Amino acid sequence: MQAVNQSMKYDEAEVETRDEYKGAQEPVSFEWRGRRFRVAQVMDRWYEGRLDSTRFPMTYFRVKTEDGRVVILRYHEFFRAWSIRIAEEVE
């Protein structure tokens, strides 16, 4: 049996936040690949790149949807863009 590696990539997502005037507030729902998901719980959040001037600041949210999926949403502050982390199987 061959081992299967998991690599992560990000896919574009449209995210509605609690306070729409600022892009990286808590997500309340998101649309991905034509489907809409409501966020039932924000399980965790963390930041990357804020203390390193060579990196773009990003905010991450691990959320649980109403149907029980757990996903990571990422907000890229420079591009003001949201994405969702997805696993891709690589042999």
Q: Where are the domains of the chain?
A: 10-90
Q: Which two tokens stand for residue 2?
A: 């061959």
**Could you report the per-residue pLDDT of 39-70, keeping only the tens digit for each?**
999 999 999 876 777 778 899 999 999 999 99
**Could you report the per-residue pLDDT of 6-46, keeping only the tens digit for each?**
457 899 999 999 876 665 689 999 999 999 999 999 999 99
Contacts of 39 (CB under 8 A, 6+ apart): 26, 27, 28, 29, 30, 63, 64, 65, 66
Q: What pLDDT, on a 0 to 100 scale, did the predictor assign at position 24?
A: 63
Residue 89 has pLDDT above 70, yes or no: no
Q: What pLDDT, on a 0 to 100 scale, did the predictor assign at position 91?
A: 40
Residue 71 has pLDDT above 90, yes or no: yes
- Chain centroid, CA 34 distance in Å: 16
